[in-house]
Structures are given as structure tokens and as C-alpha cells.
Structure 1
Amino acid sequence: MAESEGEYGGANPWLIAVLVSVATFMEVLDTTIANVALRYIAGGLAVSGDEASWVVTTYLVANSIVLCASGWIAQMFGRKNFFLVCIALFTVSSLLCGFAWNLQSLLVFRIMQGLAGGGMTPVAQSILAAAFPPAKRGQGFALYGIAVVVAPVVGPTLGGWLSDNLSWHWCFLINVPVGVITLALIYLIIPSSEKQRQERARLWAKGLNFDFVGFALVATFLGALEVVLDRGQVDDWFGSTFIVTFAIISAAALIAFVPWELSRERPLIDVRMLTGRQFGTCFLIMLATGALLIATTQIVPQLLQERFGYTATLAGLVISPGGLVTMVMMVVVGRLGSSVQPRWLIALGAAIAGGAMLDLMRMSPDADYWFFALSRIYLGIGLPLIFIPITTASYDGIPPNKTDQASALINLARNFGGSIGVSISQTVLARREQFHQSRLSEHVGSWNPVLHDTLAQIQGYLGTQNATGSKSGSAMAIVAQMVQNQAALLAYLDVFVALGLIAAAMIPLALSLRSVDRSAKPVMGH
């Protein structure tokens, strides 16, 4: 094979890059496209908004679980074969999501979709690395990076438009034609790699050598923890036997997982990596970053639709300007990374993200479109300052044979952090709305002169008493609605405070990272 060719010989690497990027675009799109449609999903399936948010979290958790095994599956069965299976499963599960008849069926199909999507992302990067010769590999990853960055920008707006003009089902059905075409083209255009075939034969000769016990334990830990996070608010947390049971299952799986992995010669997850200061800190920062990114992408459209009367399309358009800024910042941060240590960039990004949450504390009932869009733009400036440097910092000191593990763990942290962030946001929102409504209701009494003045003004607005009842009753109903709306807005402010504290916690973590040795040869994970 010539030096100017990649592993796939004479196949056009740019065509391979386009096909792989389209498939990845489709997968990343589904992490955000459903966020603005949750209100429609809740109404269509007759469930609460809190329950509808499980559509987002189940996808992320399934995505996280399969990341742990994706490297082994790709090695044993071939990158191309595994990629094709993932695209096929993703396409079929998208079709099933579009025809889901209740919440339970939708969640099952979203889990299938998440399992397929979790395998696609790391394998796509491996295919790209194999398709291009080393000298041109950076250009291929640049094209891939554009797809990964653009998808979250397009997702909310596209999801909103589809929900408003067609139905929420089309947020999933739109994947079907794209998936079928991409599947066929990848099968026909990407050749099988003789080098990979020989490697697979060598590995199969050694036996499966897969850590099935470790995979079962980590899947049980993450799955049970997700049940606790998703059902906790509905079932009164640890006042519920159901929640306590799943919390015990999750804890037991984690406790068993750690010593099991430490005793394996080829562990599913190298737990020792997480105990290292540099990588362990990076893992925590990415966990917090995922929480901040996914939670804000879910909670802001929910706020706009429920309390400000925005359509799903307009709520999606509020998110989009921040995504465009993120695209520009990716280029800027890429240049800054060559001269500024990652810890300083990450700390700055966390401070800006925290400032964006602080800015939302100025929210009032008459806040306009640009108030929310600008806050998202601030977040779009801050998050790239974390995402790109954290990759550099996390690989620092990691030997080449551990880069696949590092990549899987960092992706797992981002996805599962997002699930945790959504669950925290929904819990804070529900609990604090109850709290504020209780406190505000204490001031609605006959002894309060302000209430009398307010009722008099409302009654004057309503006009004369009609034949069916007293206008004072209608006035009290309006006051009750005002109290409920005010309590909800105060609860959303509390959510932004909680997310701001998460951003603030990243700053000391970032500053504790060691300086990266720029003279060392960079390593590339899949």
C-alpha cells in the first residue's frame, strides 16, 4: 500500500469521510432534535413533562453503556460490519420510535436507538483514521468535526419545525430515508480491509476474551442509576421502596465492578485510569460539562414553551444562535490551544458558562427572544473552551494502547453527565415550584391589603357581574393563576442557580490539572 493511500486502498477517502460524517450527523442530531418536541410528546402520549424528558435521558444512558464495548466489537467483527449494523439498528429503531403507541414503547425504542448511536461515533472516527493517510488525516477529521458541531445547532430548530408543522413523530421518522441511503452507500463504497480481516482472524484464534461480567455490571450500574434519576421525583425519592431497591442494585453493581475490573488482565474499563489525578479530573469536568450542555438544551425550550408561549420552532431558534457561535469558537479555541495551557482555557470556559447561567437570573415575565438567545450565545462561547482543551488534557500521559479506553470514558462522561443534568433540572424544578407556590400562597389572605387592591383592579377589568356567578370568584382564579406562574418562574431561576453551581465547581477542578507537555508527540484516540 502506497504511503499516500489509507487502509482502504484506492477508495476515495473524501467520499468515505462524507458518508461517515452524514451517519454521525444523524446520530448526533438525535441528541437534541427531540428536546423541543417534548411538550408535543407529553401531550400525544398523555404523560407529564417530567416523564417526557426520559426520552432524552434513556437515549444518553444507552449511548453510554455501549461505548464501553464498542472498541472490542469493532475489533472482533470489523469496523465496517459493526458500523453497518449500527446504522441499520439506528434506522429501524428510528422508524419504531416514530410509530410508538405509548411512553413505554417509545422508551424501549429510544434505548435501541441509543445503543446503535453509541457504537457509531467511535467507529466512525476509526474508519476516518484508516481511510486517510497520516498526512491528510487532519483534513478528514475537520470535515467530520463540522458535522458533529452543526448537528446540535440544526437539531432544535428542525425538531421544532417538524413538531409544529407535521408531528413529533417526524423527529424520528426523518432518520429513516437518510439511514437507508447511507447504509446502502457505505456498503457499496467502503471496501473491506484485508489488514483488518487478518487482525480479526488473529484475535478470534485467541478466543472471545471479552469481559462479559464487567459489561453486565457497568450496564446494571448505569441502568439502575438512570431509573433512580428518572423515577426519583415521581416516586418521592427514597420514600419509595421502588427507588430504594434500584439504588441498592446500582450501588451493589458499582461495588462489585471495581474489584472485578482491577483483577482482570484485559478489563472492560481500566478503573486505574479514573484514579489518576489528570484523567480522573478530566472525567469529572466532562461529566459536569455534559450536564450543563444537555440540561440547558432541554430546560430552556421547555421554559419558553410552557411559560412564554413560544412554538417549538421558535424555541428551537432560540438555541440556534448559540450553536453558530460554538462553530466559530471551535476554530478560535483550536488556535488558542497551541499556545495556552488547557487548564486556563477550561477554567475560562467554565466561568463564562457560569456567567451565562447567572445572566438568566435577570429573567422576568416580559423577557424577549434576544434575552434567551444572548444567554445561549454566552454559553456557546464558554463550552468550546472546555470541550477541545479537555481532550488534550485527558490524553496527556496516556500510553497509546490506552487511548481507546480514554476516548470511551470521556464520551461516557459527557453522555451520562447529560442524563444526570436533565434529572437534576427536573427535580429542582418540581421541588422548588412546590416550595415557591407554598410560600407565595401564604401572602394570599383576606388580611393582606395588597390582595384587596389587586382583586379590586381585576374585578374592575372583568366588568359587571354576570348571571352565572360572582366576578370576585373569577378574580381569585386569576390571582391563583398568577401565583402559579410566578412560582414556576422562580423555580426555573433555581434550576439556573443549580446549573451555575455545577459550572462554578469546574473552575477549581480545571485549575488543579497539570500543565501539558507540548513537546510530546500527540496521541489520537478513536
Structure 2
Amino acid sequence: MPSAASGHPLERSAAGHRNPWLVAVVVSMATFMEVLDTSVANVSLPHIAGNLAATQDESTWVLTSYLVSNAIVLPISGWLATVIGRKRFYLSCVALFGVSSFLCGLAPSLGMLVFFRVLQGIGGGGLAPTEQSILADMFPPEKRGQAFALYGIAVVVAPTLGPTLGGWITDNFTWRWIFLINVPVCLASLFLAGRMLVDPPAVQRDRERALHGGLKIDYLGFALVALGLGCLQVVLDKGQEDDWFASPFILVFAIVAGLSLLFLVVWELAQEHPIIDLSLMKNRNFAASMVVMFVTGFILIGTTQVIPRFLQTILGYSAMQAGLALTAGGCATLLVMPLVGSLTSKVPAKYLIVIGLVIECFACFHLSGINTEINFGHMAMARVFQAVGLPFLFVPISAIAYAGIPAGKNDDASALINTMRNLGGSFGISFATTLLAQRGQFHHSRLAESVSGYAPAWQHQPMDAWGEIAQRVTRQATMLSYIDIFWLLGWMAALAIPITFILRRPPPHGAPAAH
């Protein structure tokens, strides 16, 4: 199986005799739609609630249900791809995602919509890790940076386009089309991937070894993954809404999540056939890459959630206008991604990652200078500044994560690295939501002290002016809480820089991988 990139045989390549770049584009199609779906429904929740006779709080389960099932499937996708067969598993995920998207678009009630979103999350959870492992096997190390740049377009640009696309569809058609639009893309992906992807002999041998002596299923490991990550996702998504640990519901779920994840680590490290291969974290580059990928997901998804909300609540933008401010950043990422992909073969990954973290640090500090008078152009350019740094993080992290990982473990490595990106995003959203509420209350109390009716400057204000004064105080307090969020995100990026010192230069191409 020759590689167009290197001229050397890549026995694990899923491209077969076809151009690997064409296959890479094909497998990116469904992944782009899946990642898009993590954010596309956010702006449509009021419309969904109104159409299905549900409350706003009930409608948020449309998001939570997808994230929970997605989080459970992500870490075990490597094992599933091995025992099912990578091509068969990938096509099954695309088919399930497409069918469940169609059913979501036809859902007659909120309960049915939530159920179909669970199925959609199960199907979508396996797409990104499988695509990344396909790319890792399809390209030699010196070309992986460019390949992961293509993959990065799907997982970094898609979340920024979600709110814009969701707002436009909802405003001009109906919320049902945010799900139905996935169907033709999935059909095209099924047809093209079915014809182009192959499971090479090396991948087939992995499956035969896994099934030798019968299928060995780590039932307890699976149960601990489902309980641990499922409950953790519910805690992160519903914590602020239910006042965190003051709620018995959140407290119980947090305890179950913590104990399950603790037992999961102990159990999986002792298993001969674990459902999640945590032993990969003994590799220094891989462990450091997981941490920095968590930080990347935290900052990317956290700011993607915060910026449109700021524009809508403080500046009065529509969902469509707020989404467009993010789209400018998506365009910048799209342009810079191929450049960084080509640099990964020339510049050590740790230096590129440092550049990315420094850009994110200063971009977030720059965003902390916002005020109530900022216009659309300034906000769009601030997002562009931040978006330029994302490729310097995502591409080299993805490339160096596989350095020293045995080729047969690429599926497991991809599952773990994507799980960390997903968890980082969930923690980022929860952090932003909680800080927005708590710091908003803090700033409101401080600002309200200066407008007390007992203060001499305010004693002669007419009664009808007090309502406007209260609104201004609330608006200013909320804006200050957004500033706090951006400031802390900047420091998070800065504090992640020392982690890059752990990264080592990958072994020369052709050197044996460390086991």
C-alpha cells in the first residue's frame, strides 16, 4: 500500500491504492457535522421548548443528553474500532448518526427528542477518534501535521460555525432543519467512505488478536466508564443551574462520578484486555499532549460559549449576529491551519505549542479589555486574534501525541486524546457559566453600594429613574464578570506553558516505537 506522501509502504493505511488526501477529506465530512452538532442546537432551545410545550430548563436536556452519550462512547471507541473492525465501526457510527438526526428532526415530543439525541451522541462519539486514528495510520510522521490540519478544520472550526448556522436555520426555517440537514451529508459520507476506506491486513490482524479465544468484554470497565463520565457530564452541565453541591441531585452524581473514575483507573491498569488502555499515559509525550489538549478544549469551547452570550446579553445582538462574530475567527483558523500543518515537519512541536499558548494568553487578556461600547468589528477582530493561536495548539499536539505510540495502539490513543478535548470543553463551559453567575453577584453587590438611596448623590433622584439605574448596575456587573472570565482563561493558558517542557523530540522516522 504505497503512500503518496513518502513512497514507503504504510501497512495500516485505510486508503488502499487511493490518494490518502482524498480519503482524508471524505472521513472529515461526517466528523465536521458531528462536532457542529455539539453547538448548533444551543441557540434553538427557546424555539424547541415552545414548539414541544416544554420549559426552558427541560429543553436543556436536548444538549445534556447528547453530551452524556458522546462522553461515554469517546473513550471506548478505540476498543470498539478494534473488535468490530475500523471501517465497519466508522460506517456504523455514520449510519447511526444520520438515522438519529433524521428522527430528531421528526421528534413529536421533548422526551422522544432527548432519546434520539442520546442515539445521535452514541453515533457521533466514535467519528472523531476513528478519523484521527485513520489519519495517523494513513500518513507517515513527517506528513501527519498537514493531515491533522485537515482534521483540525473539522473539530476547531465547526464549533465556531454552529451558533451562526443554528441561528440562521432557526430564524429562516424551523429548528427541525438543524438536525435534518445532517442526513444528506451522512448519506454522501456513507457512500464515499464505503467505497474508499479499507481495513488493511495489519488492522485485520489486530481484530483477529482481539477476538482470539472469543470476544473478551471488560464489562466492569464499561460500567465504570458509563457511570463516571456520564455522571460527570451531568454534573458539569447542570451544576450551576441546580446550585452545585447544595443540590442533592448534583451531590450524588458528583460522588458517583468521582468514585467510578477512581475505580476505573485502578481496574483498567490491572486488566490484560482493558476497554480503555490507560497504560498509554506512561508515554511522556502522550500524557503531556492530553493535558495541553484539555486546556485547548477548555479555552476554545469556553470562549465559544461566552462570546456570543456577551454579545447577546450586553450588546443586544441577535443569535445570528453573535454567531457571525465567531465566524470571523473560524475563517482565520481555516487560513492558518495549513500553514501550521506544514511547520510541524520543520519546527519542534513544543515550540509551536508554546507559540499557541502565548497567543491564547494575550488574546484572552485582550478580550478582558471589553466594555459596553465595543462594536462588532472590534469583537470580531478580538476573536480573530484568538483563533490564530488555535492551530498552533491543535495540530502539533495531535501530531506529537502519537510519537512513540505503537502503531496498533493508534485507535486507543485517538480515543483518549479526543476524550480530553471533549472533557476540556465541558469543563470550560461549566467554568464560564458558574463564574458568570457568581462574579455577577459579587460585582452587583459592590456596584449597588455606590448607588444606595442613602448616599447624598442619589437622594434626589426621581422614583422612575431607579428602574433604569438598576438595569445599568446589572448590565455593568455582568460585563465585569465576563472580564473576569477572559482574564482567568488568559492565566490558564500561561500556566499551561511549563507543561510543554515535558515534551521530547519524537524518534527519527523509521525508529522503532516505544512499547
TM-score using structure 1 length: 0.84
Asked whether the 8 Å contact 1:445–1:451 carries over to 2, the reply is yes
1:386 alignment partner in structure 2:
393
Q: Distance in 2 between matches of 1:171 and 1:341?
A: 41
From the superposition, tell whether residues 434 and 325 of structure 1 become closer, same or farther in structure 2 (CA, over 3 Å).
same
Q: Distance in 1 between matches of 2:402 and 2:450?
A: 56
1:461 alignment partner in structure 2:
none
Deviation, 1:279, is 2.8
From the superposition, tell whether residues 428 and 40 of structure 1 become closer, same or farther in structure 2 (CA, over 3 Å).
farther
From the superposition, tell whether residues 2 and 515 of structure 1 become closer, same or farther in structure 2 (CA, over 3 Å).
closer
Choose from 465, 468, 474 the match for 1:478.
Answer: 468
Q: Distance in 2 between matches of 1:116 and 1:369?
A: 37
Choose from 485, 494, 511 the match for 1:495.
Answer: 485
1:424 alignment partner in structure 2:
431
Deviation, 1:190, is 4.2
2:164 alignment partner in structure 1:
157
Determine if the alignment matches structure 1 residue 376 to structure 2 residue 365. no
Deviation, 1:286, is 1.1
Higher mean C-alpha displacement, 440-449 vs 364-373: 440-449
How far does the alpha carbon of each residue in 1:169-225 deviate from its partner, in whole angstroms, 9 at most, with x for none? 3222211232234334544x3477584667656644421123221121122111111
Choose from 225, 236, 239 the match for 1:229.
Answer: 236
Asked whether the 8 Å contact 1:224–1:250 carries over to 2, the reply is yes
How far does the alpha carbon of each residue in 1:456-495 deviate from its partner, in whole angstroms, 9 at most, with x for none? xxxxxxxxxxxxxxxx443222222222212221222222
Deviation, 1:500, is 2.2
Q: Distance in 2 between matches of 1:291 and 1:227?
A: 17
Determine if the alignment matches structure 1 residue 262 to structure 2 residue 274. no
Higher mean C-alpha displacement, 89-98 vs 480-489: 89-98
Q: Distance in 1 between matches of 2:314 and 2:268?
A: 48
Q: Tell me, what secondary structure is at the counterpart of 2:126?
A: helix
From the superposition, tell whether residues 278 and 76 of structure 1 become closer, same or farther in structure 2 (CA, over 3 Å).
closer
Higher mean C-alpha displacement, 17-26 vs 405-414: 17-26
1:114 alignment partner in structure 2:
121
Q: Distance in 2 between matches of 1:427 and 1:58?
A: 20
Q: Tell me, what secondary structure is at the counterpart of 1:171?
A: helix
1:212 alignment partner in structure 2:
219
Deviation, 1:417, is 0.8
1:290 alignment partner in structure 2:
297
Q: Distance in 2 between matches of 1:328 and 1:38?
A: 32
Q: Tell me, what secondary structure is at the counterpart of 2:325?
A: helix
Asked whether the 8 Å contact 1:55–1:110 carries over to 2, the reply is yes
Deviation, 1:227, is 1.9
Determine if the alignment matches structure 1 residue 323 to structure 2 residue 323. no
Q: Distance in 2 between matches of 1:430 and 1:347?
A: 32
Asked whether the 8 Å contact 1:350–1:506 carries over to 2, the reply is yes
Deviation, 1:53, is 6.2
Asked whether the 8 Å contact 1:429–1:492 carries over to 2, the reply is yes
Determine if the alignment matches structure 1 residue 71 to structure 2 residue 78. yes
Q: Distance in 2 between matches of 1:190 and 1:430?
A: 49
Asked whether the 8 Å contact 2:15–2:23 carries over to 1, the reply is no
1:304 alignment partner in structure 2:
311
From the superposition, tell whether residues 442 and 126 of structure 1 become closer, same or farther in structure 2 (CA, over 3 Å).
closer
Superposition RMSD in Å? 3.4
Q: Distance in 2 between matches of 1:332 and 1:33?
A: 28
From the superposition, tell whether residues 513 and 104 of structure 1 become closer, same or farther in structure 2 (CA, over 3 Å).
farther
How far does the alpha carbon of each residue in 1:265-319 deviate from its partner, in whole angstroms, 9 at most, with x for none? 1222233433554432322211111111111111211221222121222111101
Q: Tell me, what secondary structure is at the counterpart of 2:40?
A: coil
Determine if the alignment matches structure 1 residue 171 to structure 2 residue 178. yes
How far does the alpha carbon of each residue in 1:432-470 deviate from its partner, in whole angstroms, 9 at most, with x for none? 2222222322333222243357x4xxxxxxxxxxxxxxx
Q: Distance in 2 between matches of 1:55 and 1:158?
A: 17
Q: Distance in 1 between matches of 2:278 and 2:206?
A: 27
Determine if the alignment matches structure 1 residue 314 to structure 2 residue 303. no
Asked whether the 8 Å contact 1:444–1:451 carries over to 2, the reply is yes
Q: Distance in 1 between matches of 2:222 and 2:428?
A: 24
Determine if the alignment matches structure 1 residue 407 to structure 2 residue 414. yes
Deviation, 1:376, is 0.9
Q: Percent of aligned pairs with the same residue?
A: 48
Higher mean C-alpha displacement, 364-373 vs 87-96: 87-96
Choose from 346, 355, 358 the match for 1:348.
Answer: 355
1:458 alignment partner in structure 2:
none
Q: Distance in 1 between matches of 2:264 and 2:310?
A: 39
The 5 Å alignment of 1:433-472 reads: 433-452=440-459, 455=461, 472=462
Q: Distance in 1 between matches of 2:362 and 2:145?
A: 33
1:459 alignment partner in structure 2:
none
Asked whether the 8 Å contact 2:240–2:434 carries over to 1, the reply is yes
Q: Distance in 2 between matches of 1:404 and 1:303?
A: 39
Asked whether the 8 Å contact 2:32–2:158 carries over to 1, the reply is yes
Q: Distance in 1 between matches of 2:428 and 2:243?
A: 18
- Which amino acid is 2:445 matched to? S
From the superposition, tell whether residues 247 and 193 of structure 1 become closer, same or farther in structure 2 (CA, over 3 Å).
closer
Deviation, 1:149, is 5.4
Asked whether the 8 Å contact 1:32–1:297 carries over to 2, the reply is no
- Which amino acid is 2:497 matched to? I
Asked whether the 8 Å contact 2:357–2:393 carries over to 1, the reply is yes
From the superposition, tell whether residues 130 and 401 of structure 1 become closer, same or farther in structure 2 (CA, over 3 Å).
closer
Asked whether the 8 Å contact 1:65–1:412 carries over to 2, the reply is no
1:513 alignment partner in structure 2:
502
Higher mean C-alpha displacement, 258-267 vs 178-187: 178-187
Asked whether the 8 Å contact 2:98–2:183 carries over to 1, the reply is yes
How far does the alpha carbon of each residue in 1:236-260 deviate from its partner, in whole angstroms, 9 at most, with x for none? 2222222221121112112211221
- Which amino acid is 1:210 matched to? I
Q: Distance in 2 between matches of 1:3 and 1:278?
A: 26
- Which amino acid is 2:213 matched to? K
Q: Tell me, what secondary structure is at the counterpart of 2:508?
A: coil
From the superposition, tell whether residues 394 and 15 of structure 1 become closer, same or farther in structure 2 (CA, over 3 Å).
closer
Q: Distance in 2 between matches of 1:192 and 1:445?
A: 72
Aligned residues: 504
Deviation, 1:422, is 0.5
Determine if the alignment matches structure 1 residue 239 to structure 2 residue 246. yes
Deviation, 1:380, is 1.0
Choose from 71, 80, 89 the match for 2:87.
Answer: 80
1:91 alignment partner in structure 2:
98
How far does the alpha carbon of each residue in 1:82-106 deviate from its partner, in whole angstroms, 9 at most, with x for none? 2222122112222333345666654
Asked whether the 8 Å contact 1:61–1:416 carries over to 2, the reply is no
Q: Distance in 2 between matches of 1:285 and 1:2?
A: 33
Asked whether the 8 Å contact 2:90–2:126 carries over to 1, the reply is yes
Asked whether the 8 Å contact 1:36–1:302 carries over to 2, the reply is no
